[in-house]
Structure 1
Amino acid sequence: MTRIELEMLIKRAFHGVTLDGGHTLVDMNEMSNWGKRASKEEIESTSRVEFGANWTVLPVETLHHFFPTLAHADAKAMRYYLPAFMVSLLTHPDPWTHSLITVLSALCPESSDPEDYHIRRYALFDDKQRSACALYLSCLPDFVDLDRGSKRTVDQARSRYWDQHLPSEKV
C-alpha cells in the first residue's frame, strides 16, 4: 500500500465524521493546561475550522500547535481528530515531531482490557474506521523512520488491540 492509498483509505473510512458535541481542541487544550484558558488568538484561529463538519480541513499547523490535546479527547473527539493527526503525519512524516508521539499514544492502549481508557475512546469507531487505524499502524513503519521506542509502541498497539481489526488479507 502506498502512502497516498493509505491516506485515501483513512479519508474514506472517516468521511462524514463530525465533532458532534465532542471536546474541541480549545477544550482539550484547557484540560492539558490544568484549566488555563487558551489565548483569544488560539480560540479564534481554531474555532473557524474545528467546528465544521469536515476534519480534513484542519490545518497541519493547528494540529501541531495542539498536539498534546488528543490525550484529553472523549470518544467523539477521538473519532474526529485522530484521522486528521494520522493523515498529517503521513503528509509531513517527521519522526521527531510531537504529532508522532500524539498519534502513537492515542493508538496504544495500556492493555487489551475492554475497559482500558483508550479502548473506550474507540467505542464510536465503526469496523471500517478500526480497520483503517489497524492498517495505518501496520504500514506506518514503511512511511516514517521510527526509532526503537516508537517501533515498540506500534507493536504494542497492534498486539493489544488493532491487529484483530486488520482485513483478513493483511493479517
Structure 2
Amino acid sequence: MNYRFIGLLLCCVFILNSCQDEVLPKPKAQLRLEYPARESKMVQTSAYSFQYNSHARIKDLKSASFTLDYPSLKGAIYLTYRPVENNLVELITDAQKLSYEHVVKADNILEQQYIDENNSVYGMFYEVKGNAASQAQFYATDSTRHFLTGSLYFYAKPNYDSIYPAAVYLQKDVRQILETLKWK
C-alpha cells in the first residue's frame, strides 16, 4: 500500500511539474502590406488641374471626366465634372445624396469640409468606414462655374477588414486631388 501511495504521489508530482509554462493566447497578427511611395504627376483638363499619384493610370479621359485606375490595388477613383449653370444646389444635393446612399452598409461616415480661398475651391470630403461600396467621396466647386465629384471604389466585394490598408492609401490620393485642385 505504501508503494501505491508513493507511485500516486510521484505521478501527481510529475503531472504538476510538466505544466509549468502558462498558456497564453497568441496575439492578433496584422497583415503588413507595403505600397509604392507616392510620386505626383499633374493632370490638366479643359476645366481644372490637380496632382495625382503617378502609380495611377488615367482611363477614359473624356472632356473633364475620367477614371484614375489602380490595377495593383484593384481600385479606382472616378471623377465627374459638370459645369455650374444655375444648378449648384442640385449638384451639391446629388453629391451629398450619393455619399449617404452608403449609410446602409457603412459603420460611420466622417464629413470634412474643405475650403481653399486662394484657389476658390470649396467642398466636402467623406470618409466612409465599414463594408460600403465606396470608401471615400468628395465634391468641390468654385460656386460659380465648376463642380467636380470623386468616388473611390474597389473591384471586389467590400470587406472593410480586407481592403482597409488599400482604402487608407487611396484616401490619401483622394485628399491630394482635392488639396491640389485648381480651376481654369
TM score, norm. by length of structure 1? 0.23
The higher radius of gyration belongs to 2
Structure with a larger share of its residues in strand: 2
- RCO higher in 1 or 2 (8 Å CA, sep ≥ 6)? 1
